[in-house]
């Protein structure tokens, strides 16, 4: 079955602009998590959505927001972009596997460059 699809793959924006990233999870998966990956901070958790509700949120400013639609597709939005927002944004599709632990399957990411 199809994997996790993230669009676009690359984005170039300027400071002060806003951006919306999209993620389509694996069919049947209802939970989506977002991560920011930078060389300095590594992989940092942004938030998780399950059945259109934000279930968990990382330590990021309010400029970072997200939502999930009824078909489980998710978007994340960053407003008033700053240079430090340049990063690879990864979306993970979560499923409950046997034993009670979720496995996160990742998309290829959206690489955002803020100029």
Partner 1 sequence: AQKVTQAQTEISVVEKEDVTLDCVYETRDTTYYLFWYKQPPSGELVFLIRRNSFDEQNEISGRYSWNFQKSTSSFNFTITASQVVDSAVYFCALRGNTGNQFYFGTGTSLTVIP
Q: Which residues bind partner 1 (CB under 8 A)?
A: 31, 33, 35, 42-43, 45, 48, 50, 55-56, 58, 88, 90, 92, 94, 97, 99, 101-109, 111
Least separation, in Å, of the C-beta of 57 and partner 1?
Answer: 9
3-state secondary structure of 84: helix
Min separation Cβ 78 and partner 1, Å: 18
For residues 15 and 55, which CB has a smaller minimum distance to partner 1 in the complex? 55
Cβ distance to partner 1 smaller for residue 3 or 13: 3
Residue 61 contacts residue 92 (beta carbons within 8 Å): no
Question: Residue 16 CB, nearest distance to partner 1 (Å)?
Answer: 26
Show Cβ contacts of residue 20 under 8 Å, excluding neighbours closer than 6 positions. 75, 76, 77
When the beta carbons of 66 and 109 are compared against partner 1, the nearer one is: 109
Per-residue buried b or exposed e for 47-77, using 16+ beta carbons within 10 Å of the residue's own CB: bbbbeeeeeeeeebeeebbbebeeebebbbe
> In angstroms, what is the minimal distance from the CB of 77 to partner 1?
20
């Amino acid at each position: 079955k199809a994997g996790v699809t993230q669009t676009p793959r690359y984005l170039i924006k300027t400071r002060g602009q806003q951006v919306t990233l999209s993620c389509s999870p694996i069919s049947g998966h209802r939970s989506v998590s977002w991560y920011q990956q930078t060389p300095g901070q590594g992989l940092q958790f942004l938030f998780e959505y399950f059945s259109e509700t934000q279930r968990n949120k990382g330590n990021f400013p309010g400029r970072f927001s997200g939502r999930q639609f009824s078909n489980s597709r998710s978007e994340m939005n960053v407003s008033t972009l700053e240079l430090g927002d340049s990063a690879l944004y990864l979306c993970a599709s979560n499923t409950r596997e046997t034993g009670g632990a979720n496995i996160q399957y990742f998309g290829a990411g959206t690489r955002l460059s803020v100029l």
